[in-house]
Amino acid sequence: MGFVHSGSGPPLAEETGDEHVTPIKSLSIVVPVFNSEGSLPELVRQIRQTLTVPKMELILVNDGSRDHSWNVICDLAREHLWVHGINLMRNYGQHNALLCGIRAARYEVIVTMDDDLQNPPSEMPNLLAKIAEGADVVYGTPRTKTHGILRNLASQITKLVLQEAMGAEAAASVSAFRAFRGNLQSAFDSYNGPFVSIDVLLTWATQRFQAIPVESRPRTIGVSNYTVGKLIAHAMDMMTGFSALPLQIASILGFALSLFGCGLEIYLLIRYFINGVSVPGFLFLASIISIFSGTQLFAIGMIGEYLARMHFRMMDKPTYAVRATVGDPSRETAIAQCVPNPPR
């Protein structure tokens, strides 16, 4: 079953021949935008060509772009009534911008996707089909992965953290191209903190995750904004912000080295009583000291990371701050103005 655009909205249950399928009647699409002025018009065009539903909105969240992305969003909002824009005060990060857009979404199903057209809008009907069949969260997993070693490593670290909450199979399929039921947002509506992971927040609401393979296109407009450094930083935020795994690793490592130290002590005593001499050499002693001191510093560093997270949470640093919104007159809080954002 697919929701291919035919000019009359998505198929109804009787059209699909499956009475258990719940038709999608309203859809919110949330896209974080960063330096993507060239790809946004084409993204809107492809979404419009792919599908229509009785109620649909596209929320473009400008995450502190340095180009004319906000001006393009304003033009698109004036041209299309179903396009809305949110302009953040500065760059907060992809997941923070997503959280802002998700909280602004009003409809029964929410789809998140990147702004670079690597997630083809034509694959969106396949995600919606799984939601209509009863899934709570559906990920579109690329059929082929073309990233480098370091980026794949950062991705694997992120998925390792998610395995405990989602299960290994679901965590392995996590991607930025996702669809989920709008009522899940109530589970993390009150979340406030500088470190955000949409996938972790979704695990607070449900464990019914599915994934389907989708096409992933190479970026043809602009350059990628996802550097290896940012991805590794996000992976570390996941490790220390939403998981106790680093502390558990430090505990296991400390316990293992304690056993190693006990075994070494027994070995030295046996050698002394049998041979009457201890183990000679400065190198041996220096190696043992390095192992134990390194482990202690590692454990202290992990504890320090967690204390830093607690410190930042106690500071009540905002997740994001909105400068202006456009294209949504139904909200009394909307600031329907477009102040040009000069490139920086």
Domain residue limits, the chain:
13-242+317-326, 245-314
Is the per-residue pLDDT at 12 higher than 60?
Answer: no
Q: Which pLDDT score, from 0 to 100, does residue 59 have? A: 96
Distances (CA, A) of 129 to 31, 50, 133, 169, 176: 20, 14, 6, 20, 18
Q: Are 312 and 192 in contact (CB under 8 A)?
A: no
Q: Kindly report, residue by residue over 303-343, the tens digit of the pLDDT.
A: 777 777 676 666 667 888 899 999 865 543 333 445 555 55
Distance, in Å, from the CA atom of 84 to the CA atom of 110, rounded to the nearest integer, reads 14
Lowest mean pLDDT among 49-53, 230-234, 260-264: 230-234
Q: What is the largest CA-CA distance in the chain?
A: 92
pTM confidence score: 0.71
Is the per-residue pLDDT at 157 higher than 50?
Answer: yes
Is the per-residue pLDDT at 260 higher than 50?
Answer: yes
Q: Are 178 and 210 in contact (CB under 8 A)?
A: no
13-242+317-326, what's its fold? Spore Coat Polysaccharide Biosynthesis Protein SpsA; Chain A (3.90.550)
Higher pLDDT, 142 or 111: 111
% residues pLDDT > 70 (the chain): 67
Q: Which two tokens stand for residue 261?
A: 């130290």
Q: Which pLDDT score, from 0 to 100, does residue 47 have? A: 93
